[in-house]
Amino acid sequence: MTQFEIEKVMTGMRGKIYRYKNERHHVLRFAITHVVKITTDRADITILMEDFDQVIQTFDEVKEMEALQVTNATGLQHQTVINSSGLELKNTLLDTISRLKRDKDFVPQASAINDAVKTIIDLAKVEVEMIKVMRGK
């Protein structure tokens, strides 16, 4: 692969989560010199330019729902607000905004929905911190 092709592949990988050598890696950034250096949330991975095409094929993208699954130290998975309510929460907010545009009398209910959403977001933030602690971050 040419340096341009490698850069294109790496640009597409940035910000995504991949399974590599049985560990999840969130690709943060990369640098290309005489080697390709991939910086993830877990480690720096260095790949020789001539081996890049073969090695990069061993990176398996983790799909969104799989990425949100949390496993505790005993191997049991937890259902989190993030992966159990995310889509429903998004749809509720979009419906609320739409209804507010049509019905100005809906403001008190929208305000109550807003308060509930803030509580759910705060809970999700706590869950994110819990995930970081469980993963040793």
Nearest to 97 by CA among 82, 114, 85: 114
* Confidence band for 128, pLDDT divided at 50, 70 and 90: confident
DSSP-assigned beta bridge partners for residue 25 = 18
Q: What percent of the chain has pLDDT over 70?
A: 81
pLDDT tens track for 62-87? 875 454 554 544 444 555 656 556 66
* pTM assigned to the model: 0.49
